[in-house]
Amino acid sequence: MSIFSRDLIVLNYYALDKKSCLEEMVEFLYKNEVIVSVDDFFKAIMERENLMTTGIGRKVAIPHARSDIVKEMNIAVYVLDNELEFNSVDGEAVKVIFMIAVPENKKDEYMKVLSGISNFLRVDEKREKLFNAKTKDEIFKILEGIKI
Protein backbone atom coordinates (compact mmCIF):
# COMPACT_ATOMS: atom_id res chain seq x y z
CA MET A 1 0.00 0.00 0.00
CA SER A 2 1.36 3.41 -0.96
CA ILE A 3 1.28 6.32 1.46
CA PHE A 4 1.02 8.58 -1.57
CA SER A 5 -1.95 9.33 -3.80
CA ARG A 6 -1.95 10.55 -7.41
CA ASP A 7 -4.76 12.92 -6.41
CA LEU A 8 -2.46 14.69 -3.96
CA ILE A 9 0.37 15.36 -6.42
CA VAL A 10 0.67 18.80 -8.00
CA LEU A 11 3.10 19.40 -10.82
CA ASN A 12 4.49 22.69 -12.19
CA TYR A 13 3.22 24.80 -9.30
CA TYR A 14 4.67 28.30 -9.35
CA ALA A 15 5.26 29.40 -5.76
CA LEU A 16 5.40 33.12 -5.03
CA ASP A 17 6.66 32.81 -1.47
CA LYS A 18 6.86 30.28 1.33
CA LYS A 19 3.78 31.43 3.26
CA SER A 20 1.41 31.57 0.27
CA CYS A 21 2.71 28.22 -0.98
CA LEU A 22 2.05 26.58 2.40
CA GLU A 23 -1.41 28.20 2.50
CA GLU A 24 -2.17 26.84 -0.96
CA MET A 25 -1.04 23.34 0.09
CA VAL A 26 -3.23 23.43 3.21
CA GLU A 27 -6.22 24.52 1.10
CA PHE A 28 -5.44 21.71 -1.34
CA LEU A 29 -5.54 19.18 1.54
CA TYR A 30 -8.85 20.68 2.67
CA LYS A 31 -10.36 20.45 -0.84
CA ASN A 32 -9.29 16.82 -0.96
CA GLU A 33 -11.01 16.16 2.39
CA VAL A 34 -7.82 15.31 4.27
CA ILE A 35 -8.36 18.00 6.93
CA VAL A 36 -11.50 19.64 8.31
CA SER A 37 -10.15 23.16 8.92
CA VAL A 38 -7.83 25.26 6.78
CA ASP A 39 -7.13 27.80 9.54
CA ASP A 40 -6.33 25.29 12.28
CA PHE A 41 -4.06 23.16 10.12
CA PHE A 42 -2.27 26.18 8.64
CA LYS A 43 -1.66 27.42 12.18
CA ALA A 44 -0.24 24.00 13.17
CA ILE A 45 2.02 23.97 10.08
CA MET A 46 3.31 27.48 10.80
CA GLU A 47 3.89 26.71 14.49
CA ARG A 48 6.02 23.74 13.44
CA GLU A 49 7.82 25.87 10.84
CA ASN A 50 8.59 28.58 13.41
CA LEU A 51 10.19 26.03 15.75
CA MET A 52 12.58 24.98 13.04
CA THR A 53 12.52 25.13 9.26
CA THR A 54 11.28 22.00 7.50
CA GLY A 55 13.52 22.83 4.54
CA ILE A 56 15.70 19.75 5.08
CA GLY A 57 18.22 20.69 2.39
CA ARG A 58 19.00 19.36 -1.09
CA LYS A 59 16.05 21.39 -2.49
CA VAL A 60 13.47 19.47 -0.41
CA ALA A 61 11.04 20.68 2.27
CA ILE A 62 8.78 18.51 4.43
CA PRO A 63 6.33 20.76 6.30
CA HIS A 64 4.23 18.63 8.64
CA ALA A 65 1.84 18.76 11.55
CA ARG A 66 -0.10 16.41 13.78
CA SER A 67 -3.61 17.49 14.62
CA ASP A 68 -7.00 16.08 15.51
CA ILE A 69 -8.47 17.95 12.52
CA VAL A 70 -6.70 15.51 10.18
CA LYS A 71 -9.03 12.69 9.06
CA GLU A 72 -6.30 10.27 8.03
CA MET A 73 -2.62 10.53 7.29
CA ASN A 74 -1.97 11.96 3.84
CA ILE A 75 0.84 13.66 2.00
CA ALA A 76 0.51 16.42 -0.57
CA VAL A 77 3.46 16.56 -2.96
CA TYR A 78 4.19 19.75 -4.90
CA VAL A 79 6.88 19.75 -7.57
CA LEU A 80 7.57 23.41 -8.22
CA ASP A 81 8.12 25.20 -11.50
CA ASN A 82 10.51 27.56 -9.77
CA GLU A 83 12.85 27.30 -6.82
CA LEU A 84 11.36 28.70 -3.62
CA GLU A 85 13.30 30.41 -0.84
CA PHE A 86 12.42 28.29 2.20
CA ASN A 87 15.02 29.16 4.82
CA SER A 88 16.41 25.62 4.35
CA VAL A 89 19.15 24.23 6.59
CA ASP A 90 21.63 24.30 3.68
CA GLY A 91 20.47 27.69 2.38
CA GLU A 92 19.29 26.19 -0.92
CA ALA A 93 15.94 27.08 -2.44
CA VAL A 94 13.30 24.33 -2.56
CA LYS A 95 12.06 22.44 -5.63
CA VAL A 96 9.86 19.72 -4.05
CA ILE A 97 7.58 20.07 -1.02
CA PHE A 98 5.98 17.18 0.86
CA MET A 99 3.25 18.36 3.25
CA ILE A 100 2.39 15.63 5.72
CA ALA A 101 -0.95 15.78 7.54
CA VAL A 102 -1.14 13.37 10.46
CA PRO A 103 -3.91 12.60 12.94
CA GLU A 104 -2.94 13.44 16.53
CA ASN A 105 -2.81 9.76 17.59
CA LYS A 106 -0.48 8.52 14.82
CA LYS A 107 2.88 9.54 16.23
CA ASP A 108 4.75 6.31 15.35
CA GLU A 109 3.60 6.17 11.71
CA TYR A 110 4.42 9.86 11.45
CA MET A 111 8.04 9.37 12.50
CA LYS A 112 8.43 6.41 10.11
CA VAL A 113 7.03 8.39 7.18
CA LEU A 114 9.20 11.39 7.94
CA SER A 115 12.39 9.34 8.09
CA GLY A 116 11.35 7.21 5.09
CA ILE A 117 10.94 10.28 2.90
CA SER A 118 14.14 11.97 4.06
CA ASN A 119 16.24 8.80 3.70
CA PHE A 120 14.88 8.20 0.19
CA LEU A 121 15.63 11.78 -0.87
CA ARG A 122 19.21 11.68 0.39
CA VAL A 123 20.03 9.75 -2.79
CA ASP A 124 20.92 12.29 -5.48
CA GLU A 125 19.68 10.15 -8.35
CA LYS A 126 16.21 9.66 -6.81
CA ARG A 127 15.91 13.37 -6.11
CA GLU A 128 16.93 14.29 -9.65
CA LYS A 129 14.32 11.91 -11.06
CA LEU A 130 11.69 13.62 -8.93
CA PHE A 131 12.80 17.12 -9.97
CA ASN A 132 12.69 16.13 -13.64
CA ALA A 133 9.45 14.12 -13.67
CA LYS A 134 6.98 15.33 -16.28
CA THR A 135 3.74 13.62 -15.19
CA LYS A 136 1.87 12.73 -12.00
CA ASP A 137 2.23 9.05 -12.91
CA GLU A 138 5.98 9.41 -13.18
CA ILE A 139 6.14 11.14 -9.79
CA PHE A 140 3.85 8.53 -8.24
CA LYS A 141 6.05 5.69 -9.55
CA ILE A 142 9.15 7.31 -8.06
CA LEU A 143 7.42 7.88 -4.72
CA GLU A 144 6.32 4.24 -4.57
CA GLY A 145 10.01 3.50 -4.03
CA ILE A 146 9.77 5.08 -0.56
CA LYS A 147 9.55 2.24 1.90
CA ILE A 148 7.95 2.88 5.26
- pLDDT tens digit string along 30-71? 999 999 999 999 999 999 999 999 999 999 999 999 999 999
Query: How many domains in the chain?
Result: 1
User: What single-letter amino acid sits at 27?
Assistant: E
Q: What is the share, in percent, of the chain residues with pLDDT greater than 90?
A: 93
SS3 13: strand
Q: How confident is the model at residue 107 (pLDDT cuts 50, 70, 90)?
A: confident
Asked if the structure places residue 104 within a domain, the reply is: yes
Domain of 105, CATH number, reads 3.40.930.10
Cα 76 to the center of its chain, rounded Å: 5
Residues 113 and 75 sit within 8 Å (Cβ to Cβ) = yes
pLDDT at 62: 96
The b/e string for 57-91 (b: 16+ C-beta within 10 A; e otherwise) is bbbbbbbbbbbebbeebbbbbbbbeeebebebeee
Confidence at residue 147, expressed as pLDDT on a 0 to 100 scale: 81
Domain coverage including residue 129:
6-143
